[in-house]
Structure 1
């Protein structure tokens, strides 16, 4: 036994029915060696397979297992937030349900937590995936770290342990609807540490992260935490104005020289003019797309819709002293009863 502090493990589940039993078995073996006060919170994000039936069966015989069912798929980030609202632990571990992040690493995360770190994240030193994906992820984390206005750990995904203090801050102080947790986690500035590991392939099934989904994730990260793209628009505009001014001076000089020499003719360069026009038009389209992303973010945020809606909760835990947000009553992300 490592500690008597309570620990919650929140698992986002979507198309992970083939991994549920094995994941549950491993956690049920590991967590009692860490603390006697643990709970496993599965957030079924409207998984289209039979994950809900399996979880219902397991929860019926284990009071340590809590199952949160969403009305529809709200995405993994909102699933984590949903699980955090019902978690009671002094520490909360976030994990995807595909077993790519090993439960065996939880004791190492807890060790770092007990050393006084409020945030402990898994650092993916290697992935058992295609070379293209490995390089693409490495490039993304470095671009994101460079773009952000605060220090962001490299190669650190959602898998990690959050102290209760961090969880309360994330739930209570960050009202945005478009959530990128690993960015918010770094933004809080709490003392942190990393634990290196090799990310495994999926235990069952195929990945739900396509190339386009990963591109959307990257855009969400950059446009949620950086204003540098807007600054680059200003730089591009300044460069375009300078080039336009230089071209204007050049053609005026050429016109004057030709007029003085008596050999005036329209300056050649139709293709050059066409290419320059197309180039400037392309730059404008890129700038418009950047602005559109920011405007789209604003549009989603000002609507203020719930980040998730809970259909029901399977919870056989004893009621917490005084009730509260984690009393097992279905709620949305604003804490309102459903």
Structure 2
């Protein structure tokens, strides 16, 4: 008798207390409707400060399909997702958020597309009315800006919710970056891709963990991870500024020779100095972003540290109380 294929769900949790049981019920119902597959649900507690870990451990005791990976502190969603993907043992892996905004009901359709030969099945949001106006507009601006600057195109309105074949997961695990922008890494590895559309629902519990400031830094991370165009733009601005300044200097010399020394213009001089100084500071800031990335990558610290892994039939390495990333 053929062994059933395993589907791994990767679910980062951070301060999702009160939503664990609802999430478990939804996923269990989906798994019951797909009896031909074996499900493992890898729940990563990313240093939660509420009851999330306690609820996850209780869930693991009730249902061994739920694996609980406890990180030693809050490393961020990208690192938590990486930890789950590293731990996944299934033939297909599906990252999904615990807030149920990404509908688990889509999992069956994803698996069907995968069985038909797709190696990546994307879930694209067609309706984001549950998000605020500012978040919708900023997301749209980010996608347009990123795809204009980078040779790597990120699909618009596609989040982390997707199905990936084992060959895709193995390719992802070969990427050594410590500063990880997962949407970009997912797109970078490529493979045969199809897209499913869905309407995004409101969160079941809790509030978003991404403030406007975090989203801004996240956008910078994405742009600097996959494009050097900002550096090139500053080079072009510098060349343009040099040419304009040289032409203006030539004009001043010719005007002085023909008409004598004019009264110096304080306002124009101040504007020129302030503009040039601001441009230099912006250029230094952009350069600093890239130097900072080099600095962080050169440390070669692990992406995450596991305090404990609670897994049914755990191997010797899974039972260790402290582990480091396989990338580290």
TM-score (norm 1): 0.91
Match in the other structure for 2:142: 140
1:73 corresponds to 2:74 = yes
Equivalent residue for 1:312, pick from 308, 317, 322: 308
Could you tell me how far 1:246 is from its partner in structure 2?
1.4
Match in the other structure for 1:282: 278
1:1-338 mapped onto 2 (5 Å cutoff) = 4-34=4-34, 35-127=36-128, 128-171=130-173, 173-258=174-259, 264-316=260-312, 318=313, 329=320, 331-334=323-326
Q: Is the 8 A contact 2:176 2:327 kept in 1?
A: no
Q: Is the 8 A contact 1:9 1:41 kept in 2?
A: yes
Q: Is the 8 A contact 2:302 2:327 kept in 1?
A: no
Q: Is the 8 A contact 1:254 1:267 kept in 2?
A: no
TM-score (norm 2): 0.94
Unaligned runs of 5+ in 2: none
| Counterpart secondary structure, 1:18 | coil
Mean CA deviation greater in 43-52 or 152-161: 152-161
Could you tell me how far 1:31 is from its partner in structure 2?
1.8
Could you tell me how far 1:269 is from its partner in structure 2?
2.5
Mean CA deviation greater in 48-57 or 104-113: 104-113
Q: Is the 8 A contact 1:120 1:162 kept in 2?
A: yes
**Structure 1 stretches of at least 4 aligned residues deviating more than 4 Å after TM superposition:** 327-330
| Counterpart secondary structure, 1:6 | strand
Mean CA deviation greater in 128-137 or 7-16: 128-137
Mean CA deviation greater in 58-67 or 143-152: 143-152
| Counterpart secondary structure, 2:217 | helix
Deviation per CA, 1:133-186, whole angstroms, max 9, x where unpaired?
A: 111101111211222222321221111111111111111x21110001110111
Mean CA deviation greater in 148-157 or 58-67: 148-157
Q: Is the 8 A contact 1:86 1:328 kept in 2?
A: no
Distance 1:5 1:207, change over 3 A: same
| Counterpart secondary structure, 1:174 | coil
Instruction: Determine the C-alpha separation between the residues in 1 that align with 2:11 and 2:285.
Output: 35
Could you tell me how far 1:328 is from its partner in structure 2?
5.5
Q: How many residues align?
A: 323
Mean CA deviation greater in 139-148 or 210-219: 139-148
Q: Is the 8 A contact 1:42 1:65 kept in 2?
A: yes
Q: Is the 8 A contact 2:303 2:327 kept in 1?
A: no
Instruction: Determine the C-alpha separation between the residues in 1 that align with 2:248 and 2:207.
Output: 54
Instruction: Determine the C-alpha separation between the residues in 1 that align with 2:217 and 2:303.
Output: 18
Instruction: Determine the C-alpha separation between the residues in 1 that align with 2:227 and 2:56.
Output: 39
Q: Is the 8 A contact 1:251 1:267 kept in 2?
A: no
Could you tell me how far 1:335 is from its partner in structure 2?
6.8
